[in-house]
Amino acid sequence: MAYSNNTAAGKAVEAIINDLPSLVAVAVVDITSGMALASHSNSPSINPETAAAYNTEVVKQKQKAMSALKLTGEKIEDILITLTNQSHLLKLNSAGNKFIYLVVNSRETNLAIAREVLRTHVDEIN
């Protein structure tokens, strides 16, 4: 457990764990630094702090692509990466400076429910 429930990020992580207890990992990430502000993993093979840094680069590269394509007025709401057995979701807050990173087992978790849980809690990290 790498979070304190005295912070907004920690409270969001705790709420997501309560709503999706079978999640694989979750982190609240600062896009500027790539650092996890709060994180939790139910799997010894997934380090959410390491994933936070790499997924920050995914977000930054997509933002660069959007700029190159002149997609003005558009902003990233979420990014979904599907693997063989996992779904990795990145949900950006409205300010676009933080995101929630969530990993779920794609065979055990309903994707629509996972997305709804993120949508419900993303405003807590503003």
Closest alpha carbon to 90 in 40, 29, 34: 29
Q: What is the largest CA-CA distance in the chain?
A: 41
Q: For residue 106, give both structure tokens.
A: 């794609």
Cα 71 to Cα 57: distance, rounded to the nearest angstrom: 19
Q: Which strands make up the sheet holding 36-41, listed edge to edge?
A: 36-41, 25-30, 98-105, 86-92, 78-82
pLDDT for 126: 86
Backbone angles phi, psi at 42, to 5 degrees: -100, 5
Q: What is the pLDDT of residues 52-105, one digit of tens each?
A: 999 999 999 999 999 999 999 999 999 999 999 999 999 999 999 999 999 999
Q: For residue 37, give both structure tokens.
A: 């502000």
